[in-house]
Amino acid sequence: MKRLAVAAMAALLLSACDEGPQRSPLATEGVTDAMIAAGNGEEWLTYGGDYAEQRFSPLDQINTETVGDLGLAWSADLDTARGQEATPLMHDGTLYISTAWSKVKAYDAATGALKWEYDPEVPRAKLVDVCCDAVNRGVALYGDKLYVATLDGRLVALDQKTGAVVWDKLTIPEGSQMAITGAPRIAKGMVLIGSAGAEYFTRGYIASFDAQTGDELWRFYTVPGNPADGFENDAMEQAAKTWSGEWWKLGGGGTVWDSITYDPQTDLVFFGTANAEPWNPAHRNTEGAGDSLYTASIVAVKPDTGEYVWHFQETPEDRWDFDSNQQITVTNLEIDGEQRRVVMHAPKNGFFYVLDAESGQFLSGKPFVDGINWAFGLDPETGVPDVNPDAKYEVTGKPWIGIPGAIGAHSWSPMSYSPTTGLVYIPTNNTPQYYMGDPDWEPGTTGFQLGLDVSGGNFPADTEVREMIKSGLNGALVAFDPVAGEVRWKIDQPTPTNGGTLATAGNLVFQGTSTGAFKAYTADTGEELWSFATQTGVLAAPMTYAIGGEQYVAVLVGWGGVWDVSAGALGGGITPNVSRLLVFKLGATGELPELKATPELVLDPPAPAGTPEQIALGEKLYSNSCSVCHGSSAVAGALNPDLRHSSTIGKPDIWQQVVHDGILSMNGMVAWKDQFSPEEIEAIRLYVLKRANEDKALEAGQTTKVAGR
């Protein structure tokens, strides 16, 4: 009997070996599984603060009584003038950050002295594959290593002490349009990461890598591939029933670009998936409607194997870019008198979901913002949305002004959860959006693949109308009660895409704003107690740590991201980009250097040219391909070149060299010759030239209405 058992054991071990690379033993020194599981205290060891991603700190030296004495302890200027979205980590007296362009820096957490820095040297041409700036949201720590995932798709392990590269692996398919902006997470000796880019040709996945060796252990795809190639698993076979036509040719989307949560209690990994690609379902499910699983969903898999356990699709058959990638927070809640292990989620679609962590069962889904118009509500039993038929633009053939829009009622900006108040603190957006299907759309080669024509949503050259539209685009800090499904308090903010939040046992919530302030509120009532002028918009979430009996609060500042690059005069350039790491403690009195004034540029374009047909074609092409970086209606934000000011708009030959041939590809402006003909590229120039002249007239105080509006 015993020999039989041994033989059976040996066979089991052998078959386990056959399944993939051997896993290294768990870390016993440095940052261990037990330390991450213990959660926040004096250190901050993982992106969301602890495995549960609650972003709550038990530290309370800084509290409602003392926060008035909070001041700048030290700051560090960063060498990347782009959006900063990372949450710092702190271990053993060192503060680790990632910055735009996936760089990593390590500082003495008490003094701010730079210990080391690492630059993965991401090719700047990669910018064409990212919707939302060259951002990076953070690093991971495990054992004696630090992990950063780079914009060009690599996962890199560095020595925590020196920053020396230990290993460097490409994780996206070679030559793929995928990118990585998210923070890697640790689970059971593995590093987990997905990729971004569900607006491009991508097939989403989450993958697991051995923390010691970087060997890939498993990869779970979020959308099915070509059935003719066979399905990787049953989950893909089931998912394929919710697609039609030849969806795999376009990739399908569903990327895992932000949330990954490992829950030791259920021993599950939860992750959120992006929209289906292209956005317009008529161009992906060409032979009939379908839910397009597992896009716009939360999916649970087993950490050891990547095997599917459950999924919950928040936005079936998404057509509005309602990614479900927002942070997934785990906790225990008492619901109807019963203790439940739950996942909490505030996705782009505007409903706050509470699901059973073990089974994915829908427990509740209530709006956390006002004005949602894509759905009349959710089925109270199943959570399936009652979709407004008018929102199906590909069916009606009419434009749809959706609330929320693609920016989302809440996006990646981290929320926090205080077990003390029982409230979730969500940075929310109010950004209605114009959607219109393009029945004639054909897949391109470069840039966005949406299946839409959004040129009808361009704003007119009329100051009053612009200001009116702009006033309807704003944000709020919302304190949401996940048990009652109600907003408890709310701070209105004049602009969207404000920073992530931190909740502490000092009854405080910290948040930076897109208009350039870092603030502290009482967690129970939302009373503003403290504010610091950051000189630049804040996107990232703060964190806190303690050294030598002193509590510190750290936050990355630096305006940029999706709203700056895409929203044009309605939201770009809210503040200049001043990229810094700011660290605060009680009694400190540090000051920032005086802000340099940004020079005012005066529009001085050559005279308009071209036929109305050329300009109309140029407007369509610009709106659907160029506006994502250079701004809606050819008005850029703070980061990317404003083409209205470019001397090339008066020089057709040089314009062709830039756009057609890609002579500025080292700056991120790649060649578009596979996508556009020289005639189309000229049409785009004529449209930008027209826009420059319209806005020149505006600047001169001569409001000009655009014909036809």
Q: Active-site positions?
A: 321
Paired tokens of 387: 């979709």
The binding track of 93-132 with respect to Ca ion, each residue x by CB under 5 A or -, is ----------------------------------------
Cβ nearer to Ca ion, comparing 239 with 274? 274
Question: Encoding tokens for residue 15?
Answer: 């078959």
Contact characters 321-360, Ca ion, x per CB under 5 A:
x-x-------------------------------------
The rounded distance, in Å, linking the Cα atoms of 674 and 665 is 14
- Tell me: does residue 275 bind Ca ion (CB under 5 A): yes
Closer CB to Ca ion, residue 127 or residue 198? Answer: 198
Break the chain down into helix, strand, coil percent, rounded to 5.
20, 30, 50
| Distance of alpha carbon 558 from alpha carbon 318, whole angstroms | 32
Which of 410, 382, 547, 424 has its CA nearest to residue 52?
Answer: 424
Using CB under 5 A, pick the residue from 73, 274, 301, 578 that binds Ca ion: 274
Q: Which residue, 197 or 576, is less far from Ca ion as judged by CB?
A: 197
Helix residue ranges per DSSP H, 576-621: 612-621
Q: Which stretch binds Ca ion (CB under 5 A): 147-155, 192-200, 301-309, 522-530?
A: 192-200
Where residue 299 falls (left for φ over 0; alpha for ψ -120 to 50; beta otherwise) is: beta
Rounded to the nearest 10 degrees, what angle do helices 612-621 and 678-699 cross at? 100
Cβ at position 218, least distance to Ca ion in Å: 25
Span of 17-25, 198-206, 329-337, 529-537 interacting with Ca ion by CB under 5 A: 198-206
Q: Is 277 in the site for Ca ion (CB under 5 A)?
A: no
Least Å from the CB of residue 640 to Ca ion: 19
Nearest residue (CB) to Ca ion, 281 versus 506:
281
Least separation in angstroms between residue 196's CB and Ca ion is: 8
**Secondary structure, 3-state, 657-675:** HHHHHCCCHHHCCCCCCCC
- The residue range among 90-98, 270-278, 409-417, 638-646 that interacts with Ca ion, by the rule CB under 5 A, is 270-278
Q: How far is the CB of 199 from Ca ion (least distance, A)?
A: 6
Stretch near Ca ion under the rule CB under 5 A, chosen from 175-183, 314-322, 417-425, 670-678: 314-322
Shortest reach from residue 675's CB to Ca ion, in Å? 20
Neighbours of 20 (CB within 10 A): 15
Which CB atom, from 147 or from 393, has the smaller least distance to Ca ion?
Answer: 393
Shortest Cβ distance from residue 436 to Ca ion (Å)? Answer: 18
Strands (E), 373-465: 375-378, 385-387, 400-402, 416-418, 423-430, 433-435
Token pair in block for residue 493: 């903010």
Q: Is the peptide bond before 294 cis (omega within 30 degrees of 0)?
A: yes
Please name the residues in contact with 333: beta carbons below 8 A apart, sequence gap of 6 or more. Answer: 339, 340, 342, 354, 482, 483
The stretch among 319-327, 457-465, 646-654, 700-708 that binds Ca ion (CB under 5 A) is 319-327
Between 59 and 567, whose beta carbon lies closer to Ca ion? 567
Give the nearest distance from C-beta 529 to Ca ion in angstroms: 36
Contact in structure between 298 and 348 (CB atoms under 8 Å): no
| Interface with Ca ion: number of residues (CB under 5 A) | 5
Judged by beta carbon, residue 291 or residue 321, the one nearer Ca ion is 321
Applying CB under 5 A, which residues contact Ca ion? 198, 274-275, 321, 323
